[in-house]
Amino acid sequence: MHSAATLDLSKVYRSPVFRSRSSVESHRELSSALSEHRLRWGSGEVATSLYRRDLQLGSVMILSYGAEVEVTPAPFEGFVLVQMPLRGTAEVECDGTPIRIGYGEVAVLAPRRSVRLLWQPGCEQLIVKLPHELLRRAACRDCPLGHCTGAAACTVWGSSVGKIAPAAASQWLALMQQLLALLPAGHNGGAQPQHQQPHPPWLGPFEQTAALFLHQHYESSADGPLPGGARAPGSSAGSDRDTTAGMRLERLEAFIRSRPFAPLSLVDLARVAGVTTRTLNAICHRNRGVSPMELLRNLRLEGARDRLLQDEDASITDVALEHGFGHLGRFSAYYRERFGELPRQTGKRVR
């Protein structure tokens, strides 16, 4: 069982970007090293430190401020951050959705509009920065069909903030330990000998594995109620949530209709919608009155009926197979339950 205490971070600590006890210098250096942001200092003594090791596409960082601090950066452009407190706790609010992360917990941040972070005094975090391109590749690799027409066809992160499921957090830590072990000795820097630079053949596959892991285990906090039944500030059970759910279902239904005979599981449908299976089940029941798999079946039955209505010479067996029904008897039973008549009766009515 891995914990944050078992991670060997020595290679990261040997690569300092800067250390400072000045609030002004800390702000300036962090803006240069990370991104432009606002800092509001609270209680405690300023003791900022940033360490970083670059990977092939992303990077691994350790950051601490010493004092309590509220950080307000601009929405991330082209990357997500995976944060895990090594000491202390932090609170994160992305696009109005707040979560709290403590020692050993793993949070994923992908803000679309706004982000605010509150670090408690003494908090130190391990931060992994991964570019959207790497996550898009993971989504395409994990797609069971592989029929994407471009980057716009993949919605990797349906929501802006969430945690890795507790049961999977130890697996993430084990993956991070393997990644850290592959880092060469030394530190980042132009004067460093070439053989000490991160070597793509070693690090590339592990970065891709990390992205694939996040794609499979990310659980969005914005897809449902917050702990304790609370909801994100400025949100409600009404318009914003329903609009987002409607967009997810429209995308999912278009995906299903474009693949009338492809074998699709509940996990496949959830990946296309960009939510967990539990969230997809709730969305489908709330907006369509059926489960996700019933929605899949109903859409395929409607497609089969349209085909029978349009082509009076169509073979019922062929139509069933073309719409994912390998058993003709079950197809006929589902069809009659849905439309009140057998497929052959639809054909006769056309004639």
**59-83 pLDDT, tens digit each:** 999 999 999 999 999 888 888 899 9
Alpha carbon of 304 to those of 65, 253, 297, 298, 349: distances in Å? 61, 15, 10, 10, 15
Q: Is residue 268 located within the same domain as residue 208? A: no
Q: Is residue 166 located within the same domain as residue 274? A: no
Spell out the long-range contacts of 193-196 with Cβ–Cβ below 8 A and sequence spacing 24 or more: none
* pLDDT value, residue 45: 95
Residue 149, CB half-sphere, CA atoms under 13 Å: how many? 3
Provide the 10 A C-beta neighbour count for residue 63: 22
Q: What is the mean pLDDT of residues 199-205?
A: 67
In angstroms, how far is CA 112 from the centroid of its own chain? Answer: 13
Rounded to 10 degrees, the C-alpha dihedral 97/241/249/116 comes to: -20
Round to the nearest angstrom and report the end-to-end CA distance of the chain. 67
Say if 192 falls within a structural domain.
no
Structure confidence at residue 159 as a pLDDT band (50, 70, 90): low
Q: What are the pLDDT digits (tens) for 304-350?
A: 999 999 887 889 999 999 999 988 899 999 999 999 999 988 866 54
Q: Is residue 21 located within the same domain as residue 161? A: yes
Say if 315 falls within a structural domain.
yes
Say if 233 falls within a structural domain.
no
Q: What are the pLDDT digits (tens) for 254-304?
A: 999 988 888 888 888 988 888 888 888 888 988 888 899 999 999 999 999
70 token code pair: 């509220």
CATH number, position 179 = 2.60.120.10
**Residue 193: is its pLDDT beyond 50?**
no
Per the structure, the count of domains in the chain is: 2
State how far the Cα of 260 lies from the Cα of 306, in Å rounded to an integer: 12
Q: What is the pTM of this model?
A: 0.61
* pLDDT value, residue 110: 83
